[in-house]
Structure 1
Amino acid sequence: MNKTACPGAPGGTLSLAANHTLWLASDIHLGAGVPRTNRAFYDFLALARQQAQGLILCGDIFDAWIGDDHALKQPPVWLAEALDELRLTAQAIPLWLMHGNRDFLLGQKLAQALGARLLAAPCRLDTCMGPILLAHGDEYCTDDVSYQRFRRVVRTRWVQRVFLALPLVWRRVIAHRARARSRLAHNHKPMQIMDVSPDTIIQALRMTHCTTLIHGHTHRPAVHALEIDGQVGQRHVLPDWEFDHVQLPRGGWISISAAGIQAHAWPPKAAPKDR
């Protein structure tokens, strides 16, 4: 497996060995207030260490991220535990971290401390199943014009430098207010605006010469049929993880191997016993 991180522009490539199984997960939203979700994900990491030859976390690993210094200096107990689990995983198998809309400030310092690698999105995966475009997914929600404007601003380097230069307590307040405003805005937006744009998806696949896309972000796990310039394609949506505030807990991942692209629910179903 080629462990070189991808360039940020579409068309960057990560090559996977034909006999390797890659796992993908997204939108875990680890945090202080979701202990059951945290624990379910740590159990998933333990299984990945045993059964996968690589793991990509496709963004929104954390519910919020206000800078690597928050994690590397004196992390709260829940965060220290999360980092330990990720570090154990990176010691066992290649681990890549991708930015999401909640944790786009994850930096090289954190990745190096964990033994992981940052994977810029979108990225092309060369696999035994052919080329696959991989992304967090928020970049394709182009019908949400106000969000895309906000996204461009907060991902500007000088804006990030100014924010990261602020005291931690100020950054916490700003992040909390930003999340509150985001929740309020979502309550007044049609659901289709907050989903990916079909035209943007087709354009992205055409640019990268792929017919398959895997992404998260929307919390709407499914497999969608596509047609790209007469070719049949697919869009696979990763599930989010939620075990604390719902009656029906949910979580899962996608595997890519010689067996194909397969969706898996967490916790995995027990194998039937031989009779």
Structure 2
Amino acid sequence: MRGTVWVASDIHLGEAVPQTARAFYDFLGRARREAGTLILCGDLFDAWIGDDHALRRPPRWLATALDELRATAGALPLWLARGNRDFLMGRALADALGARLLEAPAVLDTDAGPILLAHGDEFCTDDLAYQRFRRIVHTPWIQRIFLALPLGARRAIAARARARSRQARRSKPMAIMDVNPAAVAQALRAAGCDTLIHGHTHRPAVHALELDGRAARRYVLPDWEFDHDAPPRGGWIEIDAAGIRLEQL
């Protein structure tokens, strides 16, 4: 991926976040003017119950989102990676938008050097209950059964899962929901990279690491929230020949 690459994550688009959506669409317009490539690194949507939900008769908020993404994919290469909330996004959606599906974790060959890109939830290995849940919902035959259910049943299951997730997060220590340093080091080592970019934790920062005696960096993408929390927040990471920069709104 040569030239200027922008990476954003954790926008959580849905019917209940119109201000967040508006800020994100402004960002997409800016990306169309200034970026060479855009990667959306998971949790673009607050929940995803199957591509057919979007491609049949999407609700108004989703139709608007798809139009904005389609316009962006028409202006520059747009890559979609899956997160923990939209892991069921598939190739049908990407093809309908003119985008490309990115199987993350992935190593990006950029003008700033090789970069390991991931959503980030795979590194939260101290949260054993979540990792068990993650293994279950990423099982192919379980996904096939879920996607075969009527849309109403899928909506109900997704709503219950989100409610249980919110309740569980309130009772867990913050540290257990962050990435595990050993898991990060293992992933960097296996990928042959000294730089990691991820989202998921909603803790934007640049962390200096030491990996096998070498300097390394971990960049954490911000989440987007303009509707319920103050102050509003959002941002992205810009990659080019001058380096890697965390940009926050």
TM-score bracket for this pair, using the shorter chain length: over 0.9
Q: Does 1:110 align with 2:93?
A: yes
CA RMSD of aligned residues (A): 0.6
Correspondent of 2:202 among 219, 230, 244: 219
Match status 1:159 vs 2:142: yes
Residue from 61, 70, 81 that aligns with 2:64: 81
Q: In the alignment, what sits opposite 2:176?
A: 193
TM-score normalised over the length of structure 1: 0.90
Q: Distance in 1 between matches of 2:113 and 2:58?
A: 41
| Alignment length (residue pairs) | 249
Residue 211 of structure 2 is matched in structure 1 by: 228
SS at match of 2:208: strand
Give the secondary-structure state (helix, strand or coil) at the position aligned to 1:151. helix
Matched residues, percent identical? 69
| 2:32 corresponds to 1:53 | no
Aligned counterparts of 1:108 and 1:128: Cα–Cα separation in 2: 28
TM-score by length of 2: 0.99
Corresponding residue number in structure 2 for 1:10: none
CA offset at residue 264 of structure 1? 1.1
Work out the CA distance in 2 between the residues paired with 1:26 and 1:132. Answer: 16
CA distance in 1, matches of 2:71, 2:112: 29
The Cα offsets for residues 177-211 of structure 1, whole Å up to 9 and x where unpaired, read as: 00111111111111111000000000000001101
Displacement after TM superposition at 1:32 (Å): 0.2
> Which structure dedicates a bigger proportion of its chain to helix?
2
SS in 2 for 1:187: helix
1:3 aligned residue: none
For 1:109 and 1:216, the matched residues in 2 are separated by 24
Name the SS for the 1:103 alignment partner. coil
Structure 2's unaligned 5+ residue stretches are none
Q: 1:176 aligns with which of 153, 156, 159?
A: 159
Paired AA for residue 80 in structure 1: A
Residue in structure 1 matched with residue 193 of structure 2 by the alignment? 210
Task: Point out 4+ residue stretches in structure 1 off by more than 2 angstroms.
Answer: none
Q: Deviations over 1:10-53 (max 9, x none)?
A: xxxxxx22xx1000000000000000000000000000000000
Partner of 2:237: 254
What residue in structure 2 maps to residue 13 of structure 1? Answer: none
- State the match for 1:72 in structure 2: 55
For structure 1, list consecutive stretches of 5 or more residues without a partner in the other structure. 1-15, 267-275
C-alpha displacement at 1:247, in angstroms?
2.1
Distance, in Å, in 2 between the alignment partners of 1:192 and 1:265 is 23
1:55 and 1:247 map into 2 onto residues whose CA distance is 27
